[in-house]
């Protein structure tokens, strides 16, 4: 445990909740200082609850990134992700409600506000994207302040006022032992992390319904000759139509996805990576989410 002579050591879980595309994953990455959660401009990029650990002389904050709420779609995946988002609010020490003032308060916000009314956990309203000039709905979100214990306005993208947010969180955290060992930054292993990086590139490269009908799993990873990290990943799709689209004419699209993912993986690992991608039809892939 880090030395803290003046004050008691604090620790706890801080869940980041909110509407899809509010900037939750961007905030997690900015707070931890590395890319733990993938980010795109498409809704439902985040499918799993990913934890990022902030180590500080005052204590340890375990941030929990959650799938964003989305009510426009009624498919099985959306229902599963909405349930994950709601369940993540339980058993934590503090709730960070992430608001996007560039969008009007909608059904997702109203639903989450109703849920939060019955939860006694300390709640901070985090108004994101203050770097966006003339955010149309900023005052509407500020008027929600009386429903929360505190309010902090930030820009996750440009790291504005993140120290203020962390200070506020420590004010509400209880005393406790470290949850994770020193130097551990996340609860996910490399296979999961690398699979997410590949999935991010599919979200960026593909359009319409394709990104929402795939799953990625890394099933093999080993260091080979010349210290090259070999990674074999399977891209699972619901039917042959999506398989053809991801592979592309002459294998062009899968090569673009692989090249983009490999560059990120080499930045993360600090070494050379050989990325071997395979596309398989697996109609029941959604059961793994």
For domain 10-172, the CATH class is alpha beta
The predicted pLDDT at position 66 comes to 82
Give the strand pairing for 229-237 and 214-223: antiparallel
What's the average model confidence in pLDDT over 17-22? 87
* Strand 59-65 to 50-56 pairing: antiparallel
Name all contacts of 181-189 with Cβ < 8 Å and 24+ positions apart: 182/2, 182/55, 183/55, 184/53, 185/32, 185/34, 185/36, 185/52, 185/53, 186/32, 186/36, 186/50, 186/51, 186/52, 186/53, 187/50, 187/51, 188/36, 188/48, 188/50, 188/51
Given strand 94-99, what is the order of strands in its sheet?
50-56, 59-65, 10-18, 94-99, 123-127, 150-153
| pLDDT band per the 50, 70, 90 thresholds, residue 76 | low
Mean pLDDT, rounded, of the chain: 89
**Mapped to the 3 state alphabet, what secondary structure does 202-225 carry?**
HHHHCCCCHHHHEEEEEEEEEECH
Residues 82-136 have pLDDT tens digits of 676 667 777 899 999 999 999 999 888 888 888 888 889 999 999 999 999 888 8
Phi and psi at 151, nearest 5°, equal -135, 135
Residue 1 has pLDDT above 50, yes or no: no
Higher pLDDT, 275 or 106: 275
Q: How far is 150 from 24, CA to CA, in rounded Å?
A: 18
Give the Cα separation of 176 and 37 in Å (integer).
26
Asked if 122 and 93 touch (Cβ cutoff 8 Å), the reply is: yes
State the virtual CA torsion across 188, 162, 70, 37 in degrees, nearest 10: -20
pLDDT on residue 30: 96
Section 235-261 average pLDDT: 94
Q: Are 279 and 247 in contact (CB under 8 A)?
A: yes
Give the pLDDT of residue 57. Answer: 96
Could you read off the pLDDT of 151-162 as tens digits, one per residue? 999 999 999 999
Tokens 């294998």, located at residue: 251
The fraction of the chain above a pLDDT of 70, given in percent, is 90
The pLDDT-based confidence of 142 (bands split at 50, 70, 90) is: very high
- Fold classification of 190-288 is GMP Synthetase; Chain A, domain 3 (3.30.300)
Domain ranges for the chain, please list them.
10-172, 190-288
More reliable by pLDDT, 217 or 3: 217
Find the largest Cα–Cα distance for the chain: 65
User: What integer pLDDT is reported at residue 218 of this predicted model?
Assistant: 97
Q: How confident is the model at residue 49 (pLDDT cuts 50, 70, 90)?
A: confident
Residues 6+ apart with CB under 8 A from 117: 147
How sure is the predictor about 271, in pLDDT bands with cuts at 50, 70 and 90? very high
Does residue 178 carry a pLDDT above 80?
Answer: yes
pLDDT > 80? residue 74? no
Mean pLDDT for 47-74 is 82
Q: Give 189's pLDDT tier (boundaries 50, 70, 90).
A: very high
pLDDT of residue 119: 87
Q: Which of 55-64, 65-74, 186-195 has the lowest mean pLDDT?
A: 65-74
């Amino acid at each position: 445990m880090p030395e803290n002579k003046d004050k008691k050591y604090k620790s706890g879980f801080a869940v980041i909740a909110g509407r899809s595309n509010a900037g939750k994953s961007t905030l997690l990455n900015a707070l931890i200082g590395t890319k733990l959660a993938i980010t795109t401009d498409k809704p439902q990029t985040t499918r799993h609850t990913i934890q990022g650990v902030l180590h500080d002389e005052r204590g340890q904050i375990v941030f929990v990134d959650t799938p964003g709420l989305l009510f426009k779609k009624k498919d099985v995946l959306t229902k599963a992700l909405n349930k994950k988002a709601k369940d993540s609010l339980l058993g934590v020490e503090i709730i960070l409600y992430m608001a996007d003032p560039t969008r009007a308060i909608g059904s997702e916000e109203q639903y989450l506000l109703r849920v939060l009314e019955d939860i006694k956990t300390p709640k901070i309203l985090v108004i994101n994207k203050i770097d966006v000039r003339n955010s149309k709905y900023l005052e509407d979100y500020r008027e929600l302040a009386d429903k929360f214990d505190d309010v902090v306005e930030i820009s996750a993208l440009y790291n504005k006022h993140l120290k203020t947010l962390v200070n506020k969180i420590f004010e509400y955290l209880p005393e406790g032992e470290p949850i994770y060992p020193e130097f551990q930054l996340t609860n996910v292993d490399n296979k999961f992390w690398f699979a997410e990086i590949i999935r991010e590139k599919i979200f960026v490269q593909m359009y319409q319904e394709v990104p929402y009908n795939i799953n990625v799993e890394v099933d093999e990873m080993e260091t080979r000759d010349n210290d090259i990290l070999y990674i074999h990943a399977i891209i699972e799709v619901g039917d042959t139509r999506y398989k053809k689209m991801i592979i592309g004419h002459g294998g062009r699209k899968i090569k673009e996805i692989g090249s983009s993912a490999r560059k990120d993986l080499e930045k993360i690992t600090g070494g050379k990576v050989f990325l071997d991608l395979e596309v398989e039809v697996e109609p029941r892939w959604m059961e793994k989410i």
